[in-house]
Amino acid sequence: MRVLFVSPEVFPLVKTGGLGDVAGALPVALQAAGADLRLLMPAYGGTRAATNAKPVAALGDPFGLGETVVLQGRLPGNGLKVWLVDNPALFDRPGGPYQDSDGLDWADNDLRFALLAWAAARLSQPSSPLAWKPDILHGHDWQCGLAGAYLQAWGGPRPGIVFTIHNMAFQGLFPSSLMPRIGLPWSLYTMAGCEFWDQLSYLKAGLVYADRLTTVSPSYAGEIQLPAGGFGLEGVLAERAAILSGILNGADYRIWDPATDGELSRRYGAEEVAAGKAANKAVIQAELGLSADPEATLLVVVSRLSDQKGMDLLLAAIPAALAQGAQLALLGSGERPYEQALLALAEARPTQVAVRIGYSEPLAHRLQAAGDVLVMPSRFEPCGLTQIYALRYGTVPVVRRTGGLADTVVDATYDSMLQGTATGFVFDQPTAAQLQWSLERAIGLYRRRPQWLQLQRQGMAQSFTWEKAAEAYLDLYREIRPVGISVKSSRRAQV
**Which stretches of the chain bind ligand ADP, using CB under 6 A?**
17-18, 21, 302-304, 331-333, 359-361, 364, 383-386
Shortest-Cβ-distance residue relative to ligand ADP: 18
The least CB distance from residue 226 to ligand GLC, in Å, is: 17
CB nearer to ligand GLC: pick between 3 and 59: 3
Answer yes or no: are the C-beta atoms of 403 and 381 closer than 8 Å: yes
CB of 383 to ligand ADP, least distance (A): 6
Considering only 11-19, 38-46, 394-402, 476-484, which stretch makes contact with ligand GLC by CB under 6 A?
Answer: 11-19
- State the nearest-atom distance from the C-beta of 235 to ligand ADP, in Å: 24
Q: Which of 1, 12, 17, 222 binds ligand GLC (CB under 6 A)?
A: 17
- For the chain, what percentages of helix, strand and coil (3-state, to nearest 5) are there? 40, 20, 40
HSE, side-chain direction, 13 A CA sphere, residue 97: 21
Task: Say whether residue 371 binds ligand GLC (CB under 6 A).
Answer: no
Single-letter amino acid code for the residue at 124: S
Q: Is 24 in the site for ligand GLC (CB under 6 A)?
A: no
381 binds ligand GLC (CB under 6 A): yes
Burial of 336 (0-12, 13-18, 19+ CB in 10 A): exposed
Partner from ligand GLC, ligand ADP, none contacting 216, C-beta within 5 to 8 A by type: ligand GLC
Site track 246-275 with ligand GLC (rule: CB under 6 A), x = hit: ---x--------------------------
* Partner from ligand ADP, ligand GLC, none contacting 359, C-beta within 5 to 8 A by type: ligand ADP
Burial of 290 (0-12, 13-18, 19+ CB in 10 A): buried
CA–CA gap between residue 195 and residue 76 (Å, rounded): 39
Q: Are 371 and 390 a contacting pair, CB within 8 Å?
A: yes
Interactions with ligand GLC, residue window 197-216 (CB under 6 A):
216
Q: Does 23 engage in binding with ligand GLC (CB under 6 A)?
A: no
Kindly determine how many residues on this chain lie close enough to bind ligand GLC according to the rule CB under 6 A: 14
Give which of ligand ADP, ligand GLC, none residue 318 binds (C-beta under 5 to 8 Å, depending on kind).
Answer: none
The contacts found for 273-279 with CB under 8 angstroms, 24 or more apart, are: 273/394, 273/453, 273/456, 273/457, 273/460, 274/449, 274/453, 276/369, 276/394, 277/369, 277/370, 277/372, 277/394, 277/395
What letter would DSSP give residue 106? P
CA 85 to each of CA 67, 72, 165, 463: distance values in angstroms, whole numbers, following the listed order: 10, 9, 22, 35
Return the residue of 354, 383, 412, 432 that touches ligand GLC, per CB under 6 A. Answer: 383
Q: At its nearest, how many Å lie between ligand GLC and the CB of residue 41?
A: 15
**Could you tell me the CA-to-CA distances from 74 to 5, 39, 98, 319, 475 in Å, in that order?**
14, 9, 23, 48, 26
In the complex, which residues of this chain contact ligand GLC (CB under 6 A)?
A: 17-19, 22, 166-167, 216, 249, 381-385, 404
